Structures are given as C-alpha cells and as structure tokens.
Amino acid sequence: MDDRQLVELACAAREQAYAPYSGFSVGAALLDADGRIWQGCNIENAAFGPTVCAERVALFKAVSEGVRSFEALAVAGGPAGESIAAFTAPCGVCRQVLREFCSDGFRIILAAPDGETRTFTLGELLPQSFGPSSLA
Ligand code: THU
C-alpha cells in the first residue's frame, strides 16, 4: 500500500460523505499496522454539533474493531459533487483524537488535485501535545 493508493481510497470514501449542510465532502483512509485500511467520510447532522469528521469515522471504525496501531492516514476534501479542491487538513479535534492512538511519527497525507500530496507527521500538526503519556 503506497501513499498514492491510500489517497485513492480516501477519494473513494469521500463519495459516501453525508454533507447536506456544509456541502463539503471529505474522505479518509487509515492504514493500520497490519496493512488493513479503514475508510471514513464526514457525516453531518441537522443539529450541526453531532457532525463527525471523516478522520474520526475511520479511526473509530478501526478502534471499535480492536485495532490500536496505525501507520498513516490520507485525507481528501472539497465541495460536494466536485473533484477534490485543495489540501484538507484534519481539524483540531481530529488531531487530538488521533493523538490518543498514534505516535508523533504517524504520517498524514493531504491530497490535492492532479495527484499532488503534502505529507506531515502528527507531531508536526499537533506539537507539544497532551496525550496518554501525559497522565502516566
Ligand atoms: N471535515 C472533515 O470531515 N474533516 C476535516 O478534516 C475537516 C472538516 C468536515 C466536517 C464538516 O462535515 C465539513 O467537513 C465542513 O467543515
């Protein structure tokens, strides 16, 4: 599984996005330590607050199946019904939720049109973070 394939799976997951309020569709593909892929899309809600991002849907699917170890995540976003528009980075809440299960070196691949990607580590996107070890 290379980064390009992971991005393609994020784009495929994006097709399932339920985003009638923002009109912004996001897909995520999470690679676990055993090479399995967990896909997610954003799922909005009329009450707005319960909306869940694609990244957390993917992560929670994995964790709920007993998976705790992860390698990388690809994210693809853009206006619903259109091809991906720009680099969509995980929101602050998703970064913190990822922090619970992923190390500083966990890779986050952001997709853009024409196959371009930008890759960051979780440590870069959430520096000086508070995580499980902070409570040890
Ligand atoms: N969204 C995600 O799913 N992931 C992100 O990384 C950024 C934002 C969703 C939440 C909401 O449904 C829509 O995009 C607009 O914020």
110: CB partners within 8 A, 6+ apart: 74, 75, 87, 88, 89, 117, 118, 119, 120
Domain ranges, residue 98: 3-135
| Average pLDDT estimate for 36-50 | 98
Q: Say which residue the tokens 């309020």 belong to.
A: 21
The one catalytic residue among 8, 15, 44, 55: 55
**Domain CATH for 22:** 3.40.140.10
Number of domains observed in the structure of the chain: 1
- pTM (global) more than 0.95: yes
101: CB partners within 8 A, 6+ apart: 59, 63, 68, 69, 70
Q: Are 112 and 74 in contact (CB under 8 A)?
A: no
Cα–Cα nearest to 69, from 59, 79, 77: 59
Reply yes or no on whether the pLDDT at 95 is more than 90.
yes
| Average pLDDT estimate for 76-87 | 92
**How much is the pLDDT for 136?**
87
Ligand 1 pocket test, candidate residues 14, 42, 43, 88, most atoms within 8 A of CB: 42
**How much is the pLDDT for 113?**
87
Would you call 124 a catalytic residue per the annotation?
no
For the record, the structure tokens of 41 come out as 């899309």
